């Protein structure tokens, strides 16, 4: 089962939930894998240092137009659905904008003058590590100055393969990197905080997950302070509240030391065990 741990904004505790669930599943002897899909700032390895097995580079094929062969017919520009070609026929100027290019190959197909070749561009790397005898970690890491992490995320999920439990630590927000991750999940856990700002972002992520058609539930982190608005909203829309993590200085201390709460506290271990059971039960019903 693929479980995406996601959130409409950063800093809500996605990695905290993902690493604790993974550690617990691993401790329970399940075959599991955790993919760090937050490729712009992966940090799972800070909590779960594995033994590196392989590193794979992820490339994009970027079209290059030879102005000496180009007839400035504009066909490639018409074929490009991503506005990745700057075409100024009156100035006889044409150029590919690599950051907007989606590596679809349509322009090369369109060009009858043989003016387009492709050159590889490094987008990032995916590291695969072992964690104990039955568990694996994969980490997507984008290169600096690469506009979109989507290709690296897809590769990290692909490298994760399919174990009994596959946990995807999603990037924050609701744009393409989030969708690339959540789209591959069987179940989505949305982590939020009970504040007006948290509720605003939760509404956006719930709406996105509903549009993609994925089953989901909510974990409220730093419960205690804040207000009741989020609880009332979940009740009104019949959205399952899977777990509450209290606002506790000790939790913050363990997390900032790179520790794992379920390893250090048996009561919290039980809480994460119940969460895992709820999610896995969802698959079997």
Binding site for ligand SF4 (CB under 6 A): 63, 65, 70-76, 79-80, 82, 84-85, 94, 96, 101-107, 110-111, 113, 115-116
Of residues 82 and 147, the one with the C-beta less far from ligand SF4: 82
Query: Shortest CA distance to 221 belongs to which of 246, 249, 190, 189?
Result: 246
Give the DSSP letter string of 19-87: HHHHHHHHHTT--EEEEE--TTS--GGGTS--EEEEEEEEEEEEEEE-TTT-----HHHHH-TT--EEE
- Beta carbon of residue 93, minimum distance to ligand SF4 (angstroms, whole number): 11
Query: Shortest CA distance to 21 belongs to which of 167, 182, 194, 160?
Result: 167
Tokens describing residue 139:
């980490």
Of residues 108 and 278, the one with the C-beta less far from ligand SF4: 108
Of residues 10 and 67, the one with the C-beta less far from ligand SF4: 67
DSSP state of 9: S
Tokens describing residue 119:
């050159």
- Beta carbon of residue 70, minimum distance to ligand SF4 (angstroms, whole number): 3
Phi, psi values for residue 250, rounded to 5°: -65, -40
- Beta carbon of residue 67, minimum distance to ligand SF4 (angstroms, whole number): 8
Q: Is 187 helix (H, G, I), strand (E, B) or coil?
A: strand
- Beta carbon of residue 79, minimum distance to ligand SF4 (angstroms, whole number): 5
- Beta carbon of residue 119, minimum distance to ligand SF4 (angstroms, whole number): 12
Query: Shortest CA distance to 279 belongs to which of 4, 49, 46, 89?
Result: 4
Of residues 95 and 210, the one with the C-beta less far from ligand SF4: 95
Residue 99 to residue 205: CA distance in whole angstroms: 26
- Beta carbon of residue 114, minimum distance to ligand SF4 (angstroms, whole number): 8
Of residues 70 and 152, the one with the C-beta less far from ligand SF4: 70
Of residues 82 and 197, the one with the C-beta less far from ligand SF4: 82
């Amino acid at each position: 089962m693929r479980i995406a741990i996601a959130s409409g904004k950063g800093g809500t505790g996605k990695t905290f939930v993902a690493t604790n669930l993974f550690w617990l599943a691993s401790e329970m002897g399940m075959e599991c894998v955790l993919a760090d899909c937050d490729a712009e700032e992966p940090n799972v390895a800070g909590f779960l240092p594995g033994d590196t097995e392989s590193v794979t580079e992820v490339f994009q094929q970027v079209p290059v137009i030879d102005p000496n062969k180009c007839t400035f017919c504009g066909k490639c520009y018409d074929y490009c659905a991503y506005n990745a070609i700057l075409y100024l026929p009156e100035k006889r100027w044409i150029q590919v904008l690599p950051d907007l290019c989606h590596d679809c190959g349509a322009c090369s197909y369109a060009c009858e003058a043989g003016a387009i070749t492709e050159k590889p561009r490094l987008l990032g790397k995916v590291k695969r590590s072992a964690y104990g005898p039955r568990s694996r970690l994969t980490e997507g890491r984008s290169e600096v100055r690469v506009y979109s992490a989507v290709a690296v995320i897809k590769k990290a999920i692909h490298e994760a393969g399919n174990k009994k439990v596959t946990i995807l630590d999603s990037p924050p927000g609701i744009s393409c990197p989030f969708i690339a991750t959540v789209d591959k999940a069987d179940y989505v856990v949305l982590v939020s905080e009970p504040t007006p700002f948290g509720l605003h972002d939760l509404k956006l992520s719930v709406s996105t997950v509903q549009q993609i058609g994925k089953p989901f539930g909510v974990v409220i982190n730093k419960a205690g302070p804040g207000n009741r608005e989020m609880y009332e909203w979940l009740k009104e829309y019949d959205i399952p509240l899977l777990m509450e993590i209290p606002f506790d200085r000790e939790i913050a201390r363990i997390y900032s030391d790179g520790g794992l709460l379920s390893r250090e506290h048996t009561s919290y271990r039980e809480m994460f065990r119940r969460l895992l059971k709820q999610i896995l039960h969802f698959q079997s019903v």
